[in-house]
Structure 1
Amino acid sequence: MKRATTLFFVLTFYFFSFSQQVEFLPGDWENPAVFEKGQNVPHAFHIPYESVDNAIQNMPRKCENYQLLNGQWKFKWVETPQKVPKDFWKPDFDDTQWDEIKVPANWQMEGYGHPKFRNVAMSIENDPPNVPDYYNPTGCYKTKFTVPENWENKEVMLRFEGIKSASYIWVNGQQVGYNQGGFEPAEFNLASFIKKGENDLAVQVIRFSDGSYLENQDMWRLSGIFRDVKLYAQPKTFIHDHYVVTDFDENYKDATLTVETHIRNKLPEAKTGEIVVDVYDIEGRSILKDGSLQEDFEVDSMGNMKVQLSTLIVDPPQWSAEFPTLFTMLVQLKNTNGKVTEAFTQKIGFREVEYKDKILTVNGVPVKLNGVNSHMHHPEHGQAVPLETLKQDLLLMKQHNINCVRTCHYPPTPEYIALADELGMYIFDEVGDEAHNNINLSEKPEWTEMYRDRSRKLVYRDRNHPSVIVWSAGNESGSGQNINEVIKTGKAIDPSRPAWMYGGNTFYIPFEDVVGPRYWVPMDYKNLAQGKVLPANDMRASFMDEYLAATGNGLGGMDEYWEYIWKYPRLTGGAIWDWISPGINTPRWTLPDLSPQKIDGQIMGRPLFQQGVYGWGLEFSGHDDWVEFYRDPSLDITKQLTIDFWVKPSEIPQANVFIAKGKHGYGIQMDDAETLEFYVHGDKRISAKTKVDSGFYENWHHISGLYNGSSLQLFVDNKRVATTSYDGIISSTPFPLCIGREAESQDQGEHSGRMSRMVIDNVRVFNKAVNINNIEDEKEGLVLHLNFEEDEKDGDFYAVGLGGRTYGIIWPDRTVQPEINQIKRSGQPVKFEAIDIENGVLKVTNRHHFKNLNELEGFWQITVDGETSQRGFFVCDIPAGETGEITIDYRRPRIESTTECLLEVSFLLKENLNWAPKGHEIAWEQFAVPTDYYFVDEEEIKQKITASEDENYIRISGNDFKYTIDKKTGSFVSLKYKGTEYLEGGPEFMVWRAPIANDIDPWGSYMVGSSNKTPGRGRSIDNQLRTLGMRDLLPGVEEYELFQVNNNEVILKMDVFSNSSLDPARRKDQWFFSSAFERKEIWTFSADGSIHLEQEIIPHGPMPEMLQKVGLQFQLPKSFNSVQWYGRGPFENYPDRKTGAKVGLYHSTTDSMYVPYIIPQEYGNRSDVRWLKVHNEDGKGLMIEGNEPLNFSLHKYSTDNLSRAMYTYELEEAPNTILNVDYEVSGVGGTAIRQLQKYRVRPDVKKYSITIKPF
């Protein structure tokens, strides 16, 4: 039997805890030098079995040396560490009155404390390393575990896979250890603390610590014991760590397998033994041709040593994302008698990662990475994500050609990495450091060891997983020396992966091995690839760790990035921000509005009902509690205003908002701790302010703010305390009215610290100036009234917190969003090109890295207007990375001249795989094919048509129809066909669509220009349209001409101006030019009822940077709820996100076309539509086709409702069906990178035509 090379040495740098009681100090959690006490050195975890058979079966629940302590624990939540029950950690402490909590779980998801969403900002006052002493929620956990008899004389380890943020551990009343680092494992040796039989475990978890400043990720800020808690026993001489390296030869054929085992001896005498390593394939056959790897060892008393074994493996099957071949490595530790004292298995893969000559390679092959960033998030469980959900995520990714995950911005749960090994997913494994609000921490030496500790724990934990191909040194934590230390530390632990990168916003960081950039436009990315950005001697590959932020209806422009990624070797790919929308499933509690408007308030966060002035009041904790109202038009108050309420405020060192409609609207707040302010905003902010003393707080006060058109007046306890002259109007802002929040500034996760602290009662808002002495009896002008006496539960919704961002390409429940189809398409691993389409000759480029196309099934079909007329299969033998030709043997179609013929080719899975079923489509393309046309004679129209008019209307009539047109607006009043009304309004010319999530996000808003914008009117292009009055255009006919050509045709020529609506935010004495669109229209009515419209659109006056759309909106009867179209589909698509949708013939309904984005917005567009038919269940409807391909959407909600709603529960079905037929639609772009220039609809002179046919 061949012996492997073995290396022995004492690890002088290796430190182990010695199971002695540590000292807990009150300031531990505010001291950057203290981030662990009493912990074992990080290592790769394994379950220690006592037999080879059990180790190979690897069933942890049957392991005699392993316990999972998950389950119901006793739990006590308190507001600060100072309020922790005294001596709760003692075994005899009476916890019978405590609650029980599930472990693992985030306690916020179990109803304790307050979940908070932040991006850059901290959710506490920003003062590193200090954290608040007045509010630092602390969870006290207790449970018991039993030490079996066979654990006597063994080392017993307690391991927490995730516990956040700071935690103290006691066993049997003794101090065991301390930990910081929420997403990294913490392990403690309990050998000197435990006893036979039942043992007591107590854990104190503190929500905020100095470590929180390195956990400032863009996500929900949650805490608790939220990952597995493990207890396991090992012999006194045991394997502490193991490290597997597979190193291929220069031809990437044969591999040297090296296995390092780190042995520790806890006995007072030296110990000898043997390490035995075997490796088995999936069939259980050993791949070690010369038998097991074996080596004797002798380890000193209380000593440590490393045993290294290696051997050559001839031509092993390689691990890659395409072929995730895994082997089972069995490691045995035997004593001098040959008895197995410890055995475990580890899944390994033969895989080598290198970067050289500006290229990142896997097993010597340059790779392209179609990646996503992925948080650990679940709508019910927070960051304690169930295993089945983790697997579902990876399956969805694989099915949509995603082959890479960046684990933003912390180590994922260990099971996730194991699943990536199994299913085949490249992982950029990220260290859990983000100090986005304090990037200078990366330069401070007192924080260095905390940074390094997080690197150590991650790399030791995951370095044996083949799926991990690149380490990431964290995210947005600055670019100081501490980041360099993170990388140096990791490289020392794992030299097998030379590639480290860092997710910073600084592009050029010399100590990373893979450069960005992030959030560059495609052309800049191209310049990088062409050597125009970095020095010529910079050999680093490029990977965009974030490049498109997919928020709501977005992810436009992906093809433009992938054009360059496929073209240039240096460009490895990128990871989209991000995978999962961060909604938390939340009960919807409403407060009835007693005013005639019935604008019920939605309770956000977790405020509490307390004693008020007239009954119940609502208490806001300062921790993201507020009440929000639908953006109802009645709250867009622009003239007179009265706000009235009772409040008992608490003092906070920042603005304390009582009620507000944005910063540029109106509201009453504590501007600071000493100043009460009533404000309105016109061209500028106008305030009535008064000073308050300390006696103002913790007492009830009657507050009123009144604006009567000439002055602002502020009243406290019925006394006027401030007056300010003003005779302008109040700006109408698109931000919601809130109690306890000012939504314009306290938004998008940038708000640091606390929000409102108060108890409030009896809130009233009037759209007139009211005499406050008679306000209790006043009813006129009342638009809002809450008395807090009742609340109602009305279902659930996805809360997005103060952040309000809805990143993600799948919804929280794992339903996919339409954008995911574009990811699949842009990154598809096969390219088709037509060489000789008439003879069916195509060039096929196999962009797989390792897979031959003969492992897939080729399929083709010929479609005529979407209907399949021919189909077949083909075989394609093209190795990975190569190009070949195929010939599709189709018959030349003979079709009508008005139809379209396409050849569609695709590759499908030949067989079921562990991530998708047989027949799953991998890649596809469509080509127009030459045809033989024949012409069909048009039927002679025998009906007659007549035209008439009166003072108000024009009437066009035929045998089967009667159309009525309003002479003032140019819109149809009626469109009757065969006795049925087909139209309830329109067609209305529109350039406004409901703002998409990117429009309401400030990030990237600079990319749509700054002209024609008004502060407070929105954050993006929607601001320009509101400022110019284009949200609601006012049509008016300037002139018209009506004449009858013959008995079969009537022509109506109209010159219509769609004028800007009056902008109330502009002062009456301010001169400005109006905007308008002139529409020169020619309506041709035929005797068969068909209508042909030619339009020339001419813009006048100031114009926005771009138009959201140019088109027509039809109000159809509600029964017209079915649609058939020939164009792109079946799912939603937009001009910059359409190539993932095939051209075909599709059917849908109004309900099915709805896309439930978490924030309601524009949805459901279909691009490149040749024709569409909207109809009722009787088959009656309208057919519309254009002279060029159209866009259309069918909505069940009005555009106004979609524009105003911030939550899906605010949507109310319209009384009719809304059909949008758009000549042009701007793309959706991304959040950071908005619509690329080519996808913007410009306000230019345009000509269009469509034909409308009732049937």
Structure 2
Amino acid sequence: MTHFSSFRYFHFSLLILAFSFSGITQELPEWQRLDILSVNTEEPRASFHYYNSEKEALGGDYKKSGNYKSLNGTWKFNFAEVPENRPQDFHKTDYNISDWDDIQVPGDWQLQGYDFPLYVSAGFTFDIDPPFVDNTYNPVGSYKRTFILPSDWRKKDVFIHFGAVNSAFYVWINGEKVGYKEGTKTPAEFNITDYLQEGENSISVEVYRWSSASYLEDQDFWRLSGIERDVYLFTTPENRIQDFFVTPTLDKVYDKGILEGYVVIDAEKRKSKLQLDIKLWDGNELISEIKKEVKNAEDDTLRFEASELNIKHWTAETPNLYHISLSIKEKGETVMATSTKIGFRTSEIKGGQLLVNGKPILLKGVNRHEHDQHTGHVISKESMREDIKLFKQYNINAVRNSHYPADPYWYELCDEYGIYMVDEANLESHGFGYDEDKTPANKPEFEPMHHDRINRMMQTNKNHPSVIIWSMGNEAGDGPAFIKNYKWLKKNDPSRPVQYERAERGENFKEPHTDIIPWMYASLDFIKNSYLDKYPERPFIWCEYAHGMGNSTGNLVDLWNFVYEHPQVQGGFIWDWVDQGLLKEDENGNEYWAYGGDFGPDHYRNDGNFVINGLVNPDRTPHPALYEVKDIYQDIDVSLKESQGIKFTFVVKNRFFFTNLENYEMSYELFEDGQLIKSGNENFNLGPQQETTNQYELDLENEDSEYFINFYFKTKEAKNMVPEGHAVARKQIVLQERKEVALDVDSGELKTKKEKSQFVISNDSLEVKFDNETGVLSAYTFKGKTLIKKGPQPDFWRAPTDNDFGNNFPKRSNAWKSDTQNPKLLKFKVDQTEDGVEVKTSYQLDSVSSTMNIDYNIYADGTIKVNNQFEFDGDTGKLTSLPKFGNSMILPLDFKNVKWYGRGPHENYWDRKVSAFLGVYESDVDDLYVPYIRPQENAYRTDNRWIKLIDASGSGIEFIGIPEVSFSALRNPTSEFDPGVKKAQRHTTDIIPRDQIHLNIDYKQMGVGGDNSWGAETYEKYQLKPQDYSYSYYIKPVVK
């Protein structure tokens, strides 16, 4: 067929090589050959279904069409650890499988009781020796079941569809071999008409865990295997639509619609004239109709065009879809019909920018692996819809299918609800490295494999408007294979840009073959020095950035400030969307999410929790970082322009490219010291990329108070999975800063008494004890109730985050940990003063050659003022930044109710607090804990004016910053989240809550960072450099 001539042309130059190579390997089975990728499969085609009428096709319920039969469900299954032990004759119809197990299809067999999952970030689980894999352990799954052929299918062609099989498989029908296919993430279809019989039929499938195809499937995810997507039969008439490509675009001024495309007809068996009807629908309204006659069997590709169409455009903001129906008629009767939803839009590179419908959009995206905590690579429709819902509600407008084409339903959802997509070929050979003499991209014998994967991706998903960019693969080196495929894609689909991250980065492959510069994890300095001014004709879009491993995603605000300042930098895709943990139980029946190293023999390589990089947990509950993403990604901004007296002028900017703000209601709330004192709302009619000013009269009456204003933009109606009243954007602006607090205290009499092991300060209501040997406050009791059991104590340490481990911070900064654990008391002095009692303590910090002073002013009403002073005398060249500067203490568990005036309600850090508004919040201490899958630093809150911890009666303890402090409150000490200088195989089940509260009242903690998790440090502006520091706070009883 003419449609596939370019595919054959691509291979022509390789025929001699292929024949030569096959001469060497012709005795090997297909799954250990590079020159055979499939046997007896149909050519790849667009994703669509067959119907009996136009009405059925427009209805879209293919499962009720009569042309579809699902083979999902229970199959019989045999597992063999090595290929030679597989049941080699199981496909025969008389083979006895009565003692075989049952298995669910689709499903990964490792998650159904066979074999074991392996997680490897980059590299293979076997020695590199293509086309061979290590068969000393290479499991084979043998599947078998029967089905009844519908009686009305006897005179039709029947095909079997495998959505995805990992990694290579054979199929038999009724004992006869039908064919072979490798390559996991795109469909394989076989014509099985000649193999069928009336009534009951048997199907047998043999799946290999590893094959020659595995050399190009070295992605950063769980290595699983099995039949991973739908298996079904479908039937077609003899004369049918084989394929079609619809390109709905816009005219030169991005106004009217243009509909172009072609339809490939298989009409070799036609007995009379055929007619092709093409109709464009807006709901039930027919917009355009084209009729084409199939003149002869050779006329298999029919092209069509319609222009000047009055249509609504498709964008992620305005996902307007139309139906296109295609019907074949013979003698006026419909022989078959199909349909698909399309969107009119353009995607192009102009002036060094990516334009959609002529506008330089920003991609506020994430990378998404297909992952389910129970079923691995098998994803339900409900899970996909949940992802889309979260995308829309958290301002994510783009997704990169990392690193392979997704389930067909995913594309339908992105089309319908509006998500820009980078569709990526299932092609990664990271384990070879990038050297030109090693990478398969530079080896002719691998070229057909490269093209097969890129071609299948493009052919399957070419009709989806959400796909605005093709990606040729990920981390697969560079070479002629990508240069040729770039040219092939540009010729066969000129309607979309093409990208490849490794393109043009080698010395010998500088010929342009990427339309976008998508360098992953490029730092801002690197972009300034290596991209800006050097690629004026191509935009920069991170294909991966802001690595979200563990407690991460810091400094996102800095990255996006840079984006807004540089028009050619158009956003990127956070790595990544979901933690790829697999649900598992410990020996006590407690569930946890497992990661690399939790399964399988120890001698297999595993890359630990590097698979846990998401913005959401495996069950899709958000991490605190997702709230930051939502605010940074929002498309409406407010800033304070000026103030004169009580008149405040604000600038509202609409950052949408296609949406008027009339769709949202703006409201504001004015707060005085955390208490709401005024509110209002109004509507805006503000066009895309426009800004306006608004003035409000805000009377800030008290010069000693703090005032801030919160703005919210909420939806007026539910749309695209976003409910009515949902805040799509919000902004907090401080109008008047808080003055330093000076408490009124009671300067009554206090008694002092030195005992053998402690020093006691007391009156009728108060008792404060200090340990004579350590100088640490050992008890703080007011009116018979213990408020503090121990502390404050010097604290410079935090439990290392994954980013900390990535840059070796736990080892480099171990001196701060040592001095947290072993401060040496230099001075402990107690003096009576006119106001009360003053306690002075001083500690020598040997590891950092510095001194820490903690002074206490204790008053008769129970108030204690704590003054911390760090005097740095060490060598700045030998010491890292301080992880933290603060105080730790232990409180009774009774004070579980935590209330604070500071940033919240969610966890926040110095470099991740844009989304954590100032306010008054309340939480149970158990709910402050953030159970990161690998335990680490968590639960922090910054910029706090005060913190109260109270019991059920309302009594407790309060901490008041002078002026501000940071805090965390947990039921476990830092040590229980800290595995040491190296990571350990630890999980949430290792954190057993203690019957006490471990409270930190700190000056600050360094930021969490987030550029990457293998070397990048926290930005310098968010570090505590070794120098002198001091801070103070009050402690006072709360009496109900």
Q: Tell me the secondary structure at the aligned position of residue 139 of structure 1.
A: strand
Given the alignment, which residue of 1182, 1185, 1198 partners 2:957? Answer: 1182
CA distance in structure 2 between the aligned counterparts of 1:1028 and 1:30, rounded to whole angstroms:
54
Pairing 1:1037–2:844 present = no
Q: Does 1:892 align with 2:699?
A: yes
Most deviating of 1130-1139 and 148-157: 148-157
2:618 aligned with 1:812, yes or no?
A: yes
Give the 3 Å change call, closer, same or farther, for CA 1075–934 of structure 1 in structure 2. closer
Tell me the residue number matched to 1:95.
Answer: 97
Partner of 1:903: 709
Kept in 1, the 8 Å contact 2:747–2:859? The answer is: no
Match for residue 1078 of structure 1 among 834, 838, 851: 851
Residue 883 in structure 1 maps to residue 884 in structure 2: no
| Whole-angstrom CA distance in 1 between matches of 2:836 and 2:523 | 51
- Alpha carbons of structure 1 residues 198 and 400: separation in structure 2 relative to 1, 3 Å: same
Rounded to whole Å, the distance in 2 between the matches of 1:875 and 1:382 is 46
Listed one character per residue, the Cα deviations across residues 402-454 of structure 1 (whole Å, up to 9, x for unaligned) are 11111111111111111111111011000000101014111110000001000
Structure 1 residue 351 and structure 2 residue 138: aligned? no
Structure 1 position 867, deviation (Å): 2.2
Amino acid at match of 2:848: S
Q: 1:168-207 maps to which residues of 2 (within 5 A)?
A: 168-207=170-209
Deviates more, 1:199-208 or 1:1198-1207: 1198-1207
Distance in 2, matches of 1:1243 and 1:828, equals 36
Q: 1:64-113 CA deviation, whole Å, 9 max, x = no partner? A: 11112111111111112222213211222222221111111111111111
Matches within 5 A, 1:326-345: 326-335=321-330, 337-345=331-339
**Who is 2:1037 aligned against?**
1254
TM-score by length of 1: 0.77
Alpha-carbon distance, 1:482 to partner: 1.4
- Contact 2:504-2:513 at 8 Å conserved across structures: no
Q: AA paired with 1:318?
A: H
CA distance in structure 1 between the aligned counterparts of 2:623 and 2:349, rounded to whole angstroms:
34
Residues 97-112 of structure 1: matches in 2 within 5 Å? 97-112=99-114
Report what 2:233 is aligned to: 231
- 1:154 and 1:313 map into 2 onto residues whose CA distance is 40
Give secondary structure in 1 for the equivalent of 2:544.
Answer: coil
Query: After the TM superposition, which residues 289-300 of structure 1 pair with which residues of structure 2 at under 5 Å, given as runs?
Result: 292-300=289-297
SS of 1:134's equivalent in the other structure is: coil
Q: Is the 8 A contact 2:3 2:264 kept in 1?
A: no
Aligned residue for 1:1207?
A: 987
2:248 aligned residue: 246
- C-alpha distance 1052-868 of structure 1, shift in aligned 2 (>3 A): same
TM-score (norm 2): 0.92
**Structure 1: how far apart are the matches of 2:853 and 2:3?**
89
Q: Distance in 1 between matches of 2:324 and 2:771?
A: 81
Tell me how far 1:578 sits from its aligned partner.
Answer: 0.7
CA distance in 2, matches of 1:935, 1:78: 72
Q: How does 1:649-1048 map to 2 (within 5 A)?
A: 740=602, 749=607, 802=608, 805-837=611-643, 838-888=646-696, 890-895=697-702, 898-929=704-735, 941=746, 943-950=748-755, 952-1001=757-806, 1005=807, 1020-1026=808-814, 1030=818, 1032-1046=820-834, 1048=835
Distance 1:25 1:327, change over 3 A: farther
More helix by share: 2
Q: Distance in 1 between matches of 2:296 and 2:192?
A: 22
Q: Distance in 1 between matches of 2:365 and 2:107?
A: 28
Mapped partners of 1:217, 1:147: distance in 2: 39
CA deviations 1:170-218 (Å, max 9, x no partner) are 1122221111101111111112222332222111111110110111111
2:474 counterpart residue number? 475
Equivalent residue runs for 1:574-723 within 5 Å: 574-589=572-587, 625=600
CA contact (8 A) 2:361 2:657 kept: yes
**1:1088 correspondence with 2:861:** yes
**Higher mean C-alpha displacement, 560-569 vs 1091-1100:** 1091-1100
Q: Distance in 2 between matches of 1:1246 and 1:1089?
A: 27
Alpha-carbon distance between aligned partners in 1 of 2:787 and 2:296, rounded to the nearest angstrom: 89
Alignment-derived partner of residue 285 in structure 1: 285
The CA distance in 2 between the partners of 1:231 and 1:15, in whole Å, is 28
1-structure distance, mates of 2:656, 2:3 = 46
Q: For the structure 1 residues 894 and 803, does the alpha-carbon distance in structure 2 shift closer, same or farther, using more than 3 Å as the test? A: closer
Q: Which amino acid aligns with 1:967?
A: N
User: Are the aligned partners of 1:748 and 1:805 in contact in 2 as well (CA < 8 Å)?
Assistant: no
My pick for the range that moved more, 79-88 or 146-155, is 146-155
Provide the alpha-carbon RMSD of the alignment: 2.7
Q: Which range is displaced more, 951-960 or 106-115?
A: 951-960
Q: What pairs up with 1:1049-1198 in 2 under 5 angstroms? A: 1049-1059=836-846, 1074-1101=847-874, 1104-1198=879-973
1:1064-1105 alpha-carbon deviations (Å, 9 max, x no partner):
xxxxxxxxxx43441233322222221112222023445531
What per-residue deviation string (whole Å, max 9, x for no partner) do you get for residues 357-409 of structure 1? 11001111111111111000001010001110011011111111111111111
Question: Is structure 2 residue 429 aligned with structure 1 residue 432?
Answer: no
Between the aligned partners of 1:1077 and 1:984, the Cα distance in structure 2 is: 27
CA distance in 1, matches of 2:905, 2:50: 52
Distance 2:479 2:228 in 1: 31
Structure 1 stretches lacking a partner, 5+ long = 1-7, 17-22, 592-599, 607-621, 627-739, 750-801, 1006-1019, 1060-1073
Report the CA distance between 1:1031 and its aligned residue.
6.7
Cα offsets for 1:1128-1165 (capped at 9, x unmatched): 10000111111111111100111110111101111000
Aligned residue pairs total 1003
| Alpha-carbon distance in structure 1 between the residues aligned to 2:611 and 2:58 | 46
- Cα distance in 1 between the residues matched to 2:892 and 2:511: 60
Most deviating of 126-135 and 344-353: 126-135
> Is residue 375–residue 579 contact of structure 1 (8 Å, CA) maintained in 2?
yes
**How big is the shift at 1:998?**
1.9
Question: Residue deviations 1:97-131, cap 9 Å, x none?
Answer: 21111111111111111110001121223322211
Are the aligned partners of 1:1197 and 1:1211 in contact in 2 as well (CA < 8 Å)?
yes
The one-letter code sitting in structure 1 at the alignment partner of 2:665 is E
**2:639 & 2:32 partners in 1: Cα distance?**
62
- The Cα shift of 1:573 comes to 0.4
1:299 maps to a residue whose letter is: N
2:1040 is the counterpart of 1:1235: no
Q: What is the CA distance between 1:805 and its match in structure 2?
A: 4.0
The equivalent position to 2:312 in structure 1, one of 314, 317, 327, is 317
Cα pair 2:486 2:498 within 8 Å, conserved: no
Seen in structure 2, the aligned counterparts of structure 1 residues 14 and 955 have a Cα distance that, compared at 3 Å, is closer
| CA deviation after TM superposition for structure 1 residue 906, in Å | 1.5
CA-CA distance at 1:974 after TM superposition: 1.2
Match of 2:481, SS state, is helix
Unaligned 5+ segments in structure 2 are 10-24, 434-438
Report the Cα distance in structure 1 between the residues aligned to 2:505 and 2:729, rounded to whole angstroms: 36
Cα distance change of structure 1 residues 1076 and 404 upon mapping to structure 2, 3 Å threshold: same
What is the CA–CA distance in structure 1 between the aligned matches of 2:676 and 2:88, rounded to whole Å?
Answer: 76
Q: 1:506 to 1:623 in 2, by over 3 A?
A: farther
Distance (whole Å) between structure 2 residues aligned to residue 1150 and residue 197 of structure 1: 64
Question: Which residue does the alignment assign to 1:389?
Answer: 383
Distance 1:605 1:582 in 2: 7
Match of 1:76 among 56, 78, 81: 78
Alignment of 1:1244 with 2:1017, yes or no, is no
Moved more, 41-50 or 1033-1042: 1033-1042
Q: Tell me which amino acid in the other structure corresponds to 1:208.
A: W
Aligned-pair distance for 1:167? 0.5
Q: In structure 2, do the counterparts of structure 1 residues 510 and 886 end up closer, same or farther at CA, with 3 Å as the change threshold?
A: same
C-alpha deviation, 1:527, in angstroms: 4.4
